[in-house]
Protein backbone atom coordinates (compact mmCIF):
# COMPACT_ATOMS: atom_id res chain seq x y z
CA UNK A 1 0.00 0.00 0.00
CA UNK A 2 1.47 3.37 -1.03
CA UNK A 3 1.03 6.49 1.07
CA UNK A 4 1.37 10.21 0.37
CA UNK A 5 1.69 11.72 3.85
CA UNK A 6 3.19 8.94 5.96
CA UNK A 7 5.72 6.12 5.81
CA UNK A 8 4.41 2.83 7.19
CA UNK A 9 6.57 -0.25 7.63
CA UNK A 10 6.40 -3.47 9.61
CA UNK A 11 9.42 -5.41 10.81
CA UNK A 12 9.93 -8.01 13.53
CA UNK A 13 6.45 -7.49 15.00
CA UNK A 14 6.92 -3.70 15.16
CA UNK A 15 4.87 -1.29 13.07
CA UNK A 16 6.81 1.90 12.29
CA UNK A 17 4.72 4.97 11.50
CA UNK A 18 6.49 8.11 10.28
CA UNK A 19 4.49 11.30 9.84
CA UNK A 20 6.05 12.43 6.58
CA UNK A 21 5.21 16.00 5.58
CA UNK A 22 8.44 17.65 6.81
CA UNK A 23 8.05 20.55 4.38
CA UNK A 24 4.84 21.44 6.27
CA UNK A 25 6.12 20.64 9.75
CA UNK A 26 4.59 17.15 9.58
CA UNK A 27 1.26 18.89 10.06
CA UNK A 28 -1.78 16.90 9.16
CA UNK A 29 -4.27 17.42 6.38
CA UNK A 30 -7.12 15.25 5.17
CA UNK A 31 -4.75 12.86 3.38
CA UNK A 32 -2.60 12.27 6.46
CA UNK A 33 -5.67 11.90 8.66
CA UNK A 34 -7.10 9.17 6.44
CA UNK A 35 -3.78 7.34 6.18
CA UNK A 36 -3.14 7.42 9.92
CA UNK A 37 -6.63 6.11 10.66
CA UNK A 38 -5.94 3.21 8.26
CA UNK A 39 -2.66 2.49 10.08
CA UNK A 40 -4.35 2.42 13.48
CA UNK A 41 -6.83 -0.13 12.15
CA UNK A 42 -4.11 -2.24 10.58
CA UNK A 43 -2.06 -2.30 13.80
CA UNK A 44 -5.14 -3.31 15.77
CA UNK A 45 -6.08 -6.08 13.31
CA UNK A 46 -2.69 -7.58 12.38
CA UNK A 47 -1.86 -10.44 14.75
CA UNK A 48 1.77 -10.28 13.63
CA UNK A 49 2.11 -6.71 14.92
CA UNK A 50 2.70 -6.54 18.67
CA UNK A 51 3.42 -2.83 19.01
CA UNK A 52 3.96 0.44 17.15
CA UNK A 53 6.63 3.17 17.09
CA UNK A 54 5.60 6.63 15.90
CA UNK A 55 8.00 9.40 14.85
CA UNK A 56 8.25 12.35 12.47
CA UNK A 57 10.00 12.66 9.12
CA UNK A 58 12.98 14.98 8.80
CA UNK A 59 15.14 16.42 11.56
CA UNK A 60 13.13 19.44 12.71
CA UNK A 61 9.51 18.45 13.36
CA UNK A 62 7.70 15.60 15.03
CA UNK A 63 4.20 16.97 14.40
CA UNK A 64 2.95 20.55 14.37
CA UNK A 65 -0.75 19.66 14.44
CA UNK A 66 -3.29 20.81 11.88
CA UNK A 67 -2.00 22.31 8.63
CA UNK A 68 -3.13 25.87 9.32
CA UNK A 69 -2.25 27.14 5.87
CA UNK A 70 -4.47 24.47 4.35
CA UNK A 71 -7.19 25.44 6.82
CA UNK A 72 -6.84 29.09 5.81
CA UNK A 73 -6.88 28.29 2.11
CA UNK A 74 -9.99 26.14 2.53
CA UNK A 75 -11.69 28.75 4.69
CA UNK A 76 -13.10 25.90 6.76
CA UNK A 77 -11.03 22.77 7.35
CA UNK A 78 -14.20 20.72 7.68
CA UNK A 79 -15.50 21.56 4.20
CA UNK A 80 -13.51 18.73 2.63
CA UNK A 81 -14.63 16.18 5.16
CA UNK A 82 -11.78 16.46 7.68
CA UNK A 83 -12.59 15.98 11.32
CA UNK A 84 -9.59 16.95 13.45
CA UNK A 85 -11.22 15.33 16.49
CA UNK A 86 -10.52 11.96 14.82
CA UNK A 87 -6.78 12.56 14.56
CA UNK A 88 -4.64 11.04 15.84
CA UNK A 89 -6.92 9.37 18.38
CA UNK A 90 -5.97 5.93 19.59
CA UNK A 91 -8.83 3.58 18.67
CA UNK A 92 -11.00 2.23 21.46
CA UNK A 93 -9.82 -1.18 22.57
CA UNK A 94 -6.39 -0.94 20.91
CA UNK A 95 -4.11 -1.93 23.78
CA UNK A 96 -0.99 -3.00 21.92
CA UNK A 97 1.94 -0.90 23.20
CA UNK A 98 2.60 2.36 21.37
CA UNK A 99 5.95 4.11 21.75
CA UNK A 100 6.15 7.72 20.56
CA UNK A 101 9.66 8.87 19.59
CA UNK A 102 9.54 12.67 19.44
CA UNK A 103 12.32 13.76 17.09
CA UNK A 104 11.77 17.54 17.07
CA UNK A 105 9.06 20.16 17.49
CA UNK A 106 5.84 18.76 18.93
CA UNK A 107 3.07 21.33 19.17
CA UNK A 108 -0.63 21.94 18.72
CA UNK A 109 -2.56 18.76 17.97
CA UNK A 110 0.79 16.98 17.75
CA UNK A 111 0.69 16.66 21.55
CA UNK A 112 -2.21 14.19 21.26
CA UNK A 113 0.39 11.58 20.33
CA UNK A 114 2.19 12.25 23.60
CA UNK A 115 -0.62 12.16 26.13
CA UNK A 116 -2.65 9.35 24.52
CA UNK A 117 0.07 6.72 24.24
CA UNK A 118 2.21 4.48 26.41
CA UNK A 119 5.96 5.10 26.29
CA UNK A 120 7.24 8.52 25.26
CA UNK A 121 10.89 9.20 24.53
CA UNK A 122 12.46 12.10 22.69
CA UNK A 123 15.64 13.21 21.01
CA UNK A 124 17.77 15.97 22.50
CA UNK A 125 16.32 18.27 19.81
CA UNK A 126 12.70 17.89 20.93
CA UNK A 127 10.59 20.89 21.96
CA UNK A 128 7.00 21.00 23.19
CA UNK A 129 4.60 23.97 23.09
CA UNK A 130 1.06 24.97 22.18
CA UNK A 131 0.55 27.71 19.55
CA UNK A 132 -3.25 27.96 19.63
CA UNK A 133 -3.68 31.29 21.41
CA UNK A 134 -0.85 32.82 19.36
CA UNK A 135 -2.98 32.13 16.29
CA UNK A 136 -6.25 33.23 17.86
CA UNK A 137 -7.45 29.64 18.28
CA UNK A 138 -8.65 28.02 21.52
CA UNK A 139 -7.14 24.68 22.59
CA UNK A 140 -9.43 22.21 24.33
CA UNK A 141 -8.45 18.55 24.09
CA UNK A 142 -4.76 19.34 23.64
CA UNK A 143 -4.35 21.04 27.01
CA UNK A 144 -6.89 18.87 28.84
CA UNK A 145 -4.95 15.85 27.63
CA UNK A 146 -1.59 17.32 28.60
CA UNK A 147 -2.99 17.94 32.08
CA UNK A 148 -2.95 14.15 32.50
CA UNK A 149 0.82 14.20 31.99
CA UNK A 150 2.00 17.51 33.44
CA UNK A 151 1.34 19.65 36.53
CA UNK A 152 -1.56 22.09 36.15
CA UNK A 153 0.68 25.16 36.47
CA UNK A 154 2.91 23.96 33.63
CA UNK A 155 -0.07 23.28 31.37
CA UNK A 156 -1.55 26.69 32.17
CA UNK A 157 1.65 28.43 31.10
CA UNK A 158 1.70 26.44 27.86
CA UNK A 159 -1.96 27.26 27.23
CA UNK A 160 -1.83 31.02 27.79
CA UNK A 161 1.70 31.85 26.61
CA UNK A 162 1.48 30.23 23.19
CA UNK A 163 4.68 30.00 21.17
CA UNK A 164 6.66 31.94 23.81
CA UNK A 165 6.52 29.08 26.35
CA UNK A 166 8.54 26.09 25.20
CA UNK A 167 9.58 22.96 27.05
CA UNK A 168 12.88 21.54 25.88
CA UNK A 169 13.87 17.88 26.01
CA UNK A 170 15.61 17.98 29.39
CA UNK A 171 12.76 19.84 31.07
CA UNK A 172 10.26 17.43 29.50
CA UNK A 173 12.22 14.60 31.13
CA UNK A 174 12.41 16.38 34.48
CA UNK A 175 8.65 16.94 34.40
CA UNK A 176 7.95 13.31 33.52
CA UNK A 177 6.46 14.09 30.11
CA UNK A 178 9.05 11.81 28.50
CA UNK A 179 10.83 8.87 30.09
CA UNK A 180 14.13 9.15 28.23
CA UNK A 181 16.13 11.73 26.26
CA UNK A 182 18.22 10.17 23.51
CA UNK A 183 20.91 11.60 21.20
CA UNK A 184 19.07 12.51 18.01
CA UNK A 185 20.77 9.95 15.78
CA UNK A 186 20.02 7.18 18.31
CA UNK A 187 16.29 7.87 18.64
CA UNK A 188 14.79 5.14 16.45
CA UNK A 189 17.40 2.49 17.34
CA UNK A 190 16.70 3.17 21.02
CA UNK A 191 12.93 3.10 20.44
CA UNK A 192 13.35 -0.27 18.76
CA UNK A 193 15.42 -1.58 21.66
CA UNK A 194 12.75 -0.54 24.14
CA UNK A 195 9.97 -2.15 22.12
CA UNK A 196 11.98 -5.36 21.80
CA UNK A 197 12.35 -5.39 25.60
CA UNK A 198 8.59 -4.98 25.91
CA UNK A 199 8.18 -7.94 23.54
CA UNK A 200 10.25 -10.11 25.91
CA UNK A 201 7.30 -9.93 28.30
CA UNK A 202 3.99 -11.75 27.94
CA UNK A 203 2.17 -9.87 25.13
CA UNK A 204 -1.28 -10.55 26.56
CA UNK A 205 -0.19 -9.43 30.03
CA UNK A 206 1.33 -6.27 28.53
CA UNK A 207 -1.90 -5.43 26.71
CA UNK A 208 -3.91 -6.15 29.84
CA UNK A 209 -1.91 -3.78 32.05
CA UNK A 210 -2.04 -1.07 29.36
CA UNK A 211 -5.83 -1.41 29.32
CA UNK A 212 -5.98 -1.40 33.13
CA UNK A 213 -3.91 1.77 33.37
CA UNK A 214 -5.71 3.62 30.58
CA UNK A 215 -9.19 2.68 31.76
CA UNK A 216 -8.46 2.64 35.48
CA UNK A 217 -6.85 6.07 35.43
CA UNK A 218 -9.49 7.38 33.04
CA UNK A 219 -6.92 8.48 30.47
CA UNK A 220 -9.45 8.25 27.63
CA UNK A 221 -12.50 10.04 28.92
CA UNK A 222 -11.93 11.28 32.46
CA UNK A 223 -12.11 14.87 31.17
CA UNK A 224 -15.23 14.36 29.03
CA UNK A 225 -17.33 16.86 30.98
CA UNK A 226 -14.47 19.36 30.85
CA UNK A 227 -14.19 18.85 27.09
CA UNK A 228 -17.88 19.60 26.64
CA UNK A 229 -17.45 22.80 28.65
CA UNK A 230 -14.37 23.68 26.61
CA UNK A 231 -16.15 23.22 23.30
CA UNK A 232 -19.04 25.35 24.54
CA UNK A 233 -16.73 28.16 25.69
CA UNK A 234 -14.67 28.00 22.50
CA UNK A 235 -17.60 28.05 20.07
CA UNK A 236 -18.27 31.82 20.06
CA UNK A 237 -14.54 32.54 19.75
CA UNK A 238 -14.36 30.56 16.51
CA UNK A 239 -16.31 33.23 14.60
CA UNK A 240 -14.58 36.31 16.01
CA UNK A 241 -12.50 38.82 14.09
CA UNK A 242 -9.45 37.93 16.19
CA UNK A 243 -9.74 34.25 15.34
CA UNK A 244 -9.81 35.03 11.61
CA UNK A 245 -6.94 37.49 12.02
CA UNK A 246 -4.78 34.92 13.79
CA UNK A 247 -5.18 32.36 11.02
CA UNK A 248 -4.69 35.00 8.32
CA UNK A 249 -1.55 36.39 9.99
CA UNK A 250 -0.03 32.93 10.26
CA UNK A 251 -0.67 32.22 6.58
CA UNK A 252 0.79 35.62 5.64
CA UNK A 253 3.81 35.17 7.96
CA UNK A 254 3.24 38.33 9.98
CA UNK A 255 2.43 39.26 13.56
CA UNK A 256 -1.33 39.37 14.22
CA UNK A 257 -3.06 42.60 15.19
CA UNK A 258 -5.46 41.75 18.02
CA UNK A 259 -8.62 43.77 18.68
CA UNK A 260 -10.25 41.62 21.38
CA UNK A 261 -13.37 41.25 19.28
Report pTM: 0.87
Instruction: For residue 27, give every residue at least 6 positions away whose Cβ sits within 8 Å of its Cβ, in sequence order, or none.
Output: 21, 63, 64, 65, 66, 67, 68, 70, 108
pLDDT tens digits, 138-184: 888 899 889 999 999 999 999 999 999 999 999 999 999 999 999 99
pLDDT number for residue 259:
78
Is 75 inside a domain boundary? yes
Distance from C-alpha of 172 to C-alpha of 167, rounded to nearest angstrom = 6
Query: What's the total number of domains in the chain?
Result: 1
pLDDT tens digits, 177-211: 999 999 999 999 999 999 999 999 999 999 999 99
Higher pLDDT among residues 70 and 153, named by residue: 153
pLDDT tens digits, 35-53: 999 999 999 999 999 999 9
Is 73 inside a domain boundary? yes
- Residue numbers of the domain that contains 76: 6-186+203-216
- Nearest residue to 119 via CA among 143, 91, 92, 96: 96
Is 238 inside a domain boundary? no
Is 70 inside a domain boundary? yes
Q: What is the CATH number of the domain that holds 135?
A: 3.90.226.10
Is 241 inside a domain boundary? no
Is 106 inside a domain boundary? yes
Is 84 inside a domain boundary? yes
Q: Is 109 exposed, middle or buried (CB count within 10 Å of its CB: 0-12, 13-18, 19+)?
A: buried
Is 176 inside a domain boundary? yes
Amino acid sequence: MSHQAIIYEKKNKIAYLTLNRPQRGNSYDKVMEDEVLQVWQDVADDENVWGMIVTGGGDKFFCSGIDQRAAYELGDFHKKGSNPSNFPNRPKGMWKPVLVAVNGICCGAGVHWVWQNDIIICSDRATFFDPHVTRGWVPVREMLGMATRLPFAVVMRMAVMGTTERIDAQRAYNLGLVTEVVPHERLIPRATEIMEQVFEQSPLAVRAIIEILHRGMGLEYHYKDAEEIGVMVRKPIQTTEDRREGTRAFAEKRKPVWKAR
